[in-house]
Chains A and B, each alone.
Chain A
Amino acid sequence: MTDNILEISNLSKSYGDFSLDNISFSLPKGYIMGLIGPNGAGKTTIIKSIMNLIMKQNGDIKIFGKDLSKFEIEIKKRIGFVYDTPNYYEHINLKQLKNTIAPFYENWDDDIFYNLVERFELPLNKKLKNFSKGMYMKSSIILALSHNAEFIIMDEPTSGLDPVVRRELLDFFKELIQDENKSILFSSHITTDIEQIADYITYIAKGKLVFSETKDDIFERYSMVKGGNDLLNEETKKCFVAIRSNDYGFEALSDDVINTRNIFGDDVIYQRATLEDIMFFTNLKNKSNN
Chain B
Amino acid sequence: MKQLILKDFRANWQYLLMSFGVLFTISTLFIYSMLEYQGRADPDLILYFLQVMMTSIFFSLLFFKVDEMYNTNEIFVSLPVSRSQIVKARYVNTVVYVFIAIIIHFAGSQFGIFIHNGSQNSELILLYNPSLWGFVFLSALIIGAYSMPFYFKFGINKGVLVVFVIHFLFVVFVITLIINMNGLWSDVQKALMSIIKISNTILIYSYISIVMLVVLISTLISVKIYKNKEI
Contacts and interface: CB of A to CB of B under 8 A. Distances in A.
Nearest to B229: A55
Interface string B7-50: 10011101100000000000000000000000000000000000
B79 A53 contact: no
Contacts of B187: none
Ranked nearest first, the 4 interchain pairs of A and B with the lowest CB-CB distance are A76-B80, A87-B71, A53-B231, A77-B80
Given A53-B230, A87-B74, A99 B10 contact: yes
A163 interface: no
A87 B72 contact: yes
Contacts of B72: 87-89
Which of B12, B79, B80, B82 gathers most chain A CB within 10 Å? B80
A272 to B, nearest CB: 38
A51 interface: yes
A87 B78 CA distance: 12
Interface residues of A, number: 28
Given A87-B75, A104-B3, A72 B11 contact: no
Given A51-B78, A104-B79, 17 more contacts: A53-B74, A53-B77, A73-B80, A76-B80, A76-B81, A81-B78, A83-B78, A87-B74, A87-B75, A88-B75, A89-B11, A89-B12, A89-B72, A99-B10, A101-B79, A103-B3, A104-B81
A52 interface: yes
Contacts of A76: 78-81
Contacts of A4: none
B66 interface: yes
A284 interface: no
A58 interface: no
Interface in A71-130: 72-74, 76-77, 81, 83, 86-92, 96-97, 99-101, 103-105
Which of A51, A55, A103 gathers most chain B CB within 10 Å? A103
28 contacts: A52-B77, A53-B74, A53-B77, A53-B231, A54-B231, A73-B81, A73-B82, A77-B80, A81-B78, A83-B75, A83-B78, A86-B75, A87-B70, A87-B71, A87-B74, A87-B75, A88-B70, A89-B11, A90-B70, A91-B15, A97-B11, A100-B7, A100-B10, A101-B79, A104-B3, A104-B79, A104-B81, A105-B80
